[in-house]
Structure formats: structure tokens, C-alpha cells
Amino acid sequence: MYKYRVSIIGLGYVGLTTAVALASRGFNVIGIDANSMKVEKINNGELPFYEPGLRDLLIKVLDKKRFHATTDYKEILNTNITFICVGTPSLPDGRIDLSQIVSATKSLGNVLRKKNDIHFVVVKSTVIPGTTRNVVGKILVNNYGKRLGENLGLCMNPEFLREGTALYDTFNPGRVVIGEYDKKSGDILENLWRTFYRANQPPILRTSLEAAEMIKYASNAFLATKISFANTIANICQHIPNCDVLEVLRGVGLDHRINPAFLGPGLGFGGSCFPKDVKALISFSKDIGYEPILLEATLKVNEEQPYKAIELAKKHYNSLKGLRVTVLGLAFKPNTDDMRGAVSIKIINKLLEEGAKVVVHDPKAVANARKIFSDKIEYASDVYNALKGADLVIIVTEWDEYKKLTPSVFKTYMRRAVIIDGRRIYNPQTFRNEGISFYAIGLSEGT
Ligand code: UDX
């Protein structure tokens, strides 16, 4: 039986979650990151971001000495399989920035140069088709004398975990995709995951390197398109008397060919993946000569969707100037402190532009919001203070804490109880029966 010793380069959401999960199932794992402050934090049992359950597991694997973080690439020589999990952000033109992939591969090549027995390299970062073979593989072969299929194995293993449920998704994936340079590399990686999943084996799909890279983009593009489709239907329903998009999409989602997942209407998708990955796929597609109009429409719908909150507000107030507006929820979705690509940013900027006084609340993301808005907005310590004296409230992120709020809370604390439900978390009738002016995405007048 192959004795796996794992190293993981890049300790962001994907890298750190994968490292901690593998270590928790008995693998010896080394995490490498260029940021020494982050490394120190992790070794002290602290997370560089908020993710439910991850900190407890990190502390356990550190205690058991199954995992530690380092900035020293030389420690890779104590391992035989390396996952590359560095970031692939967007360049201003939407293409992906491969600079972290290139520098991680070079640093890896530098230490592997001295190694004679086989080392397996697995790309987990989201990369456009061809990158694993033509960037990572080529650098290791051309610059560092490695021989693919001899002393170098190569795989592409896309990651599908969601922030906020990262550990659950890692232990219970819908599928594991293994793109392989050769059978030997694929066998080694398949065996690692089969050992990891024990009694809970997911389907494992073996493909070419390029197909694996494309599966990740196609999956994210499809889910993003499903959301933009739901929002398109919502925006149409908004103009149909007596029509609530939630009833419509419930009826649509019951068709098993469609299914209800990611058919939730709202203020649009944010995050570090969907916007970036759809943009990267569009640029890549154009570069190879195909104009992906469907994906362009997905993005266009999403770019405009946050402003539906402002349109609804203006149905009630002609002008927002001087009004005190509460924004509930800043993170791009619940259970994270991540504000990358969050729709709250667009909404707050627009409210400020309209002359509103903005007060915000979020259970986790306030520190990140301060970095963006500093003293341009007010940060409330709890929901009740956020609502105090407000003329309008916009629900931007559907945290459980907000779902529990009753009509009387809004009536008691707000100056004027006007609600824009941007995530469809409340029952419109219950709120309207209490005399609240209630507006929501995809809810026409009369419903
Ligand atoms: C996503 C993919 O789901 C995951 O497989 C991939 O690995 C990374 O990108 P993530 O960005 O963490 O994960 O969050 P996700 O739960 O997919 O939500 C993305 C955005 O879509 C959020 O802003 C969310 O509010 C929005 N969304 C989701 C909707 O607007 N409607 C829905 O029905 C579902």
C-alpha cells in the first residue's frame, strides 16, 4: 500500500480545508504558504478566515502533530504528493492571473530538482483548460529537468467545496474528478481519495487533464446561469399582477430535470468563484474564437440584479436622500465573513450616491466591511441598533439571525417600517398584515 505524505501549497479556503480534512483522517500533511503571518496564525490554531467547524478540527490535527504550516518549500522533500491550491484571481480584463500558479510551480520545481524518486503533483486551483499540462507540467519539465511519467506524476483535481459548508462538502462531495496525465498518476490520486472517504465513497470520474479543468468551469458557469435564470424570471414576475416568483420557481423546480437547487431568486450571486470563473471562461472562450453569448448574459443579469433593491426602495420613496437606510448582511452569503464580490458593496455604494445615510450589520463580516467603507457608513453592534430610527431596511444576506426577526421587531425599532426583502426570507402576507410596507424581489403588487 502506497504511504502518502502530503504537501499542500496555498493555505486559502481550498488548501487549508483540504489539508485539515486529510490530516483528520490520518494523513501526514504539510501546508506551505508564502505569507509568514498566516503560517504563524495557523500553527497557533487560528484561521485566517471564518469557516464553521474548521478551527476545532485544525486544533485537533495540530495537537496530534498530523499537520503543520510552513513557509519553507524544502519541507516538500519529506512528502511524495503535492496539491497546488494557490489563488487564480481575475486580471482587469477578466482573464485569470496565473502568476501564483507560476511562482508556486517554480518554487516546487526548485526543490523537486534534487529528488530522484517519483513525486506526484496535483493542481487543485481553478485553472483554464491546458494550464496543468502547458504551464505546470512544462515548467517542471523544461526548467527543472523532471520527466513526466517517470519521476513526475501529474493530475488535475478540481475542488467544488462551498464557503460556509467547506468541511461538509469536503467529507461529502457529489463527485471527485481526477484529470490525469497518465494512468499511474490517476491511480495514485484515486487511491488517496478512496482511502480518505472510507465507507462514504463518492463517484470518482477519471478524465483528461483538460476535461477536469473544464468540468470546474462548466459547473460554476451552469450554477451561475441557473441563478441568473431565476432572477430573470423574478424580474418578469415583478410585473405580473398576483404573481410571486417563489410559487413559480417552486413549480419549475419540482420537475426532476430542473431541480430546485440554485434556483433561488434574490439580489444576485457574489463570492470569489462564480463571478471570476464565468469571466475567465468567457475570456478563454473568446480567445479560442467562440463568443459565449449565454455566459455573457448570465453576467449581465447578475451585474444589474443588486440594483433591483434600489428600484424597489424607490417605489416607496421617490428619493432616498437623507433617509436612514439599514443594510442587513454584508457577506456574499451566510456563514462566511467573505465580502469578495459581495452584492452588498454595490448596494451600499449606490445608496451613498443617492444621499442616504447607511447603517450596516453582519454577524461576521464587519471587519472586512470596514476595510472597504471605513467611516462612510455606520456599523451597528447588533440588529436592533441597526434598525433603530431607520426609514428603510434591505435584507442583503440571508443569515439565520435575520430570518427569525418578527414584524413587531421592525415596527418597534424602525422610524418607518419599510422592508425590501432581497433574499425572500419572510412571508409577505405575515408582514403586510402587520401594517409593514413590504417589497421583495419577484413579488408583484397585489400579491
Ligand atoms: C461556489 C460553488 O458552489 C462551489 O462548488 C465552488 O467550489 C466555488 O463557488 P461559493 O462561492 O462558496 O461556492 O458559494 P455558493 O453557495 O455556490 O453561492 C454563490 C453565490 O450565489 C452566493 O452569493 C449566493 O447568495 C448566490 N446564490 C446561490 C443565489 O443567489 N441563489 C441561489 O439559489 C444559490
Mean local confidence (pLDDT), 76-84 = 98
Ligand 1 near 333 CB (within 6 A): yes
**CA 331/CA 51 separation, integer angstroms:** 12
Ligand 1 atom showing the smallest separation from residue 164 Cα: 12
Mean local confidence (pLDDT), 284-290 = 97
Ligand 1 centroid – CA 162 distance (Å)? 7
Longest dimension (CA), the chain: 75
Cell of 113: 530538482
pLDDT in tens, 390-422: 999 999 999 999 999 999 999 999 999 999 999
Q: How confident is the model at residue 138 (pLDDT cuts 50, 70, 90)?
A: very high
Beta strands per DSSP E along 66-134:
67-70, 81-84, 119-123
Domain 241-440 belongs in CATH node 3.40.50.720? yes
Query: Is the pLDDT reported for residue 342 higher than 90?
Result: yes
Query: Is the pLDDT reported for residue 1 higher than 80?
Result: no
Ligand 1 near 331 CB (within 6 A): no
Q: Choose the CATH number for 5-207 among 1.10.599.10, 3.40.50.720, 3.90.650.10, 3.40.190.10.
A: 3.40.50.720
pLDDT in tens, 299-318: 999 999 999 999 999 999 99
Query: Is the pLDDT reported for residue 136 higher than 90?
Result: yes
Ligand 1 centroid – CA 145 distance (Å)? 41
Mean local confidence (pLDDT), 95-99 = 96
Query: Is the pLDDT reported for residue 24 higher than 90?
Result: yes
**CA 349/CA 34 separation, integer angstroms:** 34
Ligand 1 near 399 CB (within 6 A): no
Query: Is the pLDDT reported for residue 322 higher than 80?
Result: yes
Q: What percent of the chain has pLDDT over 70?
A: 100
- In the chain, the N- to C-terminal Cα span, in Å, equals 63
- Contact between 127 and 159 under an 8 Å Cβ cutoff? The reply is no
Pocket test for ligand 1, best of 332, 399, 425 (most atoms within 8 A of CB): 332
Intervals of CATH 3.40.50.720 along the chain: 5-207, 241-440
Query: Which pLDDT does position 2 carry in this prediction?
Result: 85
pLDDT in tens, 152-172: 999 999 999 999 999 999 999
Mean local confidence (pLDDT), 114-136 = 97
pTM of the predicted model, to two decimals?
0.96
Query: Is the pLDDT reported for residue 447 higher than 80?
Result: no
Query: Which pLDDT does position 114 carry in this prediction?
Result: 84
pLDDT in tens, 214-249: 999 999 999 999 999 999 999 999 999 999 999 999
Angle at 181 between CA 180 and CA 186, to 5 degrees: 40
Q: How confident is the model at residue 445 (pLDDT cuts 50, 70, 90)?
A: confident
85 classed as catalytic = no
Query: Is the pLDDT reported for residue 96 higher than 80?
Result: yes
**CA 309/CA 394 separation, integer angstroms:** 7
Query: Is the pLDDT reported for residue 285 higher than 90?
Result: yes
